[in-house]
Structure 1
Amino acid sequence: MNVSLTPHELDRPTLALDEFELWQTARRLSRVTVVERVRVIRQFHIETGVQPLSASAVDIMRWLADHDDDWSDSTAAVYVAYLRAWFKFLQTTDKRLDNPMLKVGTPRVGEREPRPVSDRAVIDILQTTMRSKTRTMILLALLAGLRVHEIAKVRGEDFDLRAGLLWVKGKGRKTKSVPLHPILVELAIRMPEIGPWFPKRGHPSETMCPKSVSQVIGQTMRRAGVHATAHQLRHWYATTLLDNEIDIRVVQELMRHKSIASTQIYTAVPAGRRRAAIDTLDVLRAVRRPDVDGPRPLVA
């Protein structure tokens, strides 16, 4: 919803937002999570003109309804989760007694299905002209299953070439190791041993923003004629491992999923097998194989 706010109203700070950021940081939430939650709360304020500190359930439901056409179900669910965290903070810090989210409820999210890029698309992407660092980003997603925010934070110190491991700081600040594919070992030998692999432009000691990594990979994929997202490279990683008959518990560890339920969404029958199954259907089956249901004459 676009509301008409005066310049003064647009400049008006969102009350308690700095404290909300501090509260989350003290709980050692990831910087990505903190920044996104703060951004969404500020977005609510700007779009509605309502201070989130005093927002009612109706204010929140109206905001969600106004974005019914341009937000996906999963986006709406994530934003509702951010609002829940906000009002939990307000109650915990005695800034508010009630919690309007109890009246809002939880958006229904349809069952997710993995959308990996195809094997052909992987070849098309890798054959596309690109910078060496962009190729490295793509290979980290394809061969280590890294998310974009994990790619952005990769540093030379994260690699243990003797053990053949990459240490990844993922969701919830949890650090886990991923065995290195031989191609990644070769890449690591040529990359810096210390410091960020993908530094922010003009700030060599700082890492790129995850959004920038996503944009760089996305632009390369589009040049290759592949209409997909960077995260779908991670989907290829999981579905290919399972298609290669790797045990699901092993894939869970490699994907660094907390619950095996998260891994199970990748066990859906691959599209190629479903297509092959459809291709076996034959409306002239009774004629071609009379032994199946007894011989029958072909009717013209």
Structure 2
Amino acid sequence: MTAPIMVHLDAWRVWQHAQRLSLVTITERIRVVALFGAEMDVEPARSCDGDIVGWLHSHPEWSDSTVTTYHSYLSSWFKWLQVTDRREDNPMMKVGTPHYPDRQPRPVSDDDVVRLLSTRMWRSTRVMILLALLAGLRVSEIARVRGEDVDAGAGVLWVKGKGRKVRSIPLHPTLIEAASTMPAKGYWFPMRGHPHTPMHGKSVSDVVSRTMRRAEVPGTPHCLRHWYATTLLDDGADLRTVQELMRHKTIQSTAVYTKVPDARRKSAVARLDPLRSVTGAEHRVYVPSAVGTS
């Protein structure tokens, strides 16, 4: 059987580079579209809605999150084909939108943070972890930190995040101290043998993950970013401030990363008073007797 021809994929790759999308995003999109064509034995540019539905249905082992992500990649592919006049219709219009799974915040516990920071590790690894815990950086952002991004005098760190947007983050005193031990110029975490090229975010993730496993701390490096947001909220920061520090476009995105502590939820419920409009001796909550009928 002849393998299907992957028409237009190279042109789509070039177009995405011109849009300044990240290399990771471009590579993953191309991989998924090519996988779709190979597994369904169709030319992706000429496939129909039945091919797409059949492919997604053929992988029951995929999580809802994976299906949603792959669906978005295919949507981007067919939208590009249509916009660039390579195809008249968009089969994704007939496929429908999968249910996006509700995400729950998964911050590491305070005890786990102490256990992690008490573990022996390389200085560079400790700085990676501190950047996640005290600045809320993603692994891809940690990989690209340079000495020039630190303004110790102003107490800020300049971060290039999603969409290549550059934002400033207040530097925690511990990070200011850590910065003094790192290069004043160039990448803090260069690729081995290539001092002018930053590590891949995946490499940073692997380094931090190994340290977390050795410290017997459950979760992923991203859970350290969850801790940052959750702890800010727990310590009294309002959600809008946390949104700015997390560098989210919408407050809804921030809400996903923040877990309201159980103690705060219980306290909020305990303060409820159905007779709060009543004053004086009459102000008491009625508690029904355990004996008798209503």
TM-score in same-fold range (> 0.5)? yes
> Could you tell me which residue of structure 2 aligns to residue 282 of structure 1?
none
How far the C-alpha of 1:67 sits from its partner, in A, is 2.2
Q: 1:39 to 1:157 in 2, by over 3 A?
A: farther
How far the C-alpha of 1:225 sits from its partner, in A, is 1.2
Say which is worse superposed, 236-245 or 103-112, in terms of deviation: 103-112
Question: Distance in 2 between the 1:39 and 1:295 partners?
Answer: 65
3-state DSSP of counterpart to 1:28: coil
Question: Distance in 2 between the 1:13 and 1:199 partners?
Answer: 38
Q: Which amino acid aligns with 1:228?
A: G
> Could you tell me which residue of structure 2 aligns to residue 65 of structure 1?
57
- The structure 2 residue matched to 1:18, chosen from 5, 10, 21, is 10
TM-score by length of 1: 0.84
Q: Which amino acid aligns with 2:21?
A: L
- List gaps (5 residues or longer) in structure 2: 270-285
> Could you tell me which residue of structure 1 aligns to residue 33 of structure 2?
41
Q: Which amino acid aligns with 2:168?
A: S
Question: Distance in 1 between the 2:186 and 2:5 partners?
Answer: 36
- The structure 1 residue matched to 2:101, chosen from 91, 107, 110, is 110
Question: Distance in 1 between the 2:142 and 2:153 partners?
Answer: 21
TM-score by length of 2: 0.86
1:178-226, Cα deviation, whole Å (9 max, x unpaired): 0001111111111111111111122221111111111111111111112
1:211-230 equivalence runs, <5 A: 211-230=202-221
3-state DSSP of counterpart to 1:150: helix
Question: Distance in 2 between the 1:30 and 1:101 partners?
Answer: 24
1:53-103, Cα deviation, whole Å (9 max, x unpaired): 12221111122112232x222221121111111111111222211111111
Question: Distance in 2 between the 1:208 and 1:164 partners?
Answer: 25
How far the C-alpha of 1:295 sits from its partner, in A, is 9.0
1:34-183 equivalence runs, <5 A: 34-69=26-61, 71-183=62-174
Question: Distance in 2 between the 1:147 and 1:227 partners?
Answer: 18
Q: Which amino acid aligns with 2:20?
A: R
Q: 1:155 to 1:48 in 2, by over 3 A?
A: farther
Question: Distance in 2 between the 1:271 and 1:51 partners?
Answer: 52
Q: 1:14 to 1:129 in 2, by over 3 A?
A: farther
> Could you tell me which residue of structure 2 aligns to residue 259 of structure 1?
250
Question: Distance in 1 between the 2:154 and 2:73 partners?
Answer: 39
Aligned length: 275
Question: Distance in 1 between the 2:95 and 2:258 partners?
Answer: 33
How far the C-alpha of 1:273 sits from its partner, in A, is 5.0
Question: Distance in 1 between the 2:213 and 2:263 partners?
Answer: 23
How far the C-alpha of 1:47 sits from its partner, in A, is 3.1
Q: 1:83 to 1:127 in 2, by over 3 A?
A: same
Question: Distance in 2 between the 1:67 and 1:159 partners?
Answer: 46
3-state DSSP of counterpart to 2:130: helix
> Could you tell me which residue of structure 1 aligns to residue 189 of structure 2?
198
**Do 2:230 and 2:260's aligned partners in 1 also have CA atoms closer than 8 Å?**
no
Question: Distance in 1 between the 2:94 and 2:32 partners?
Answer: 20
3-state DSSP of counterpart to 1:205: strand
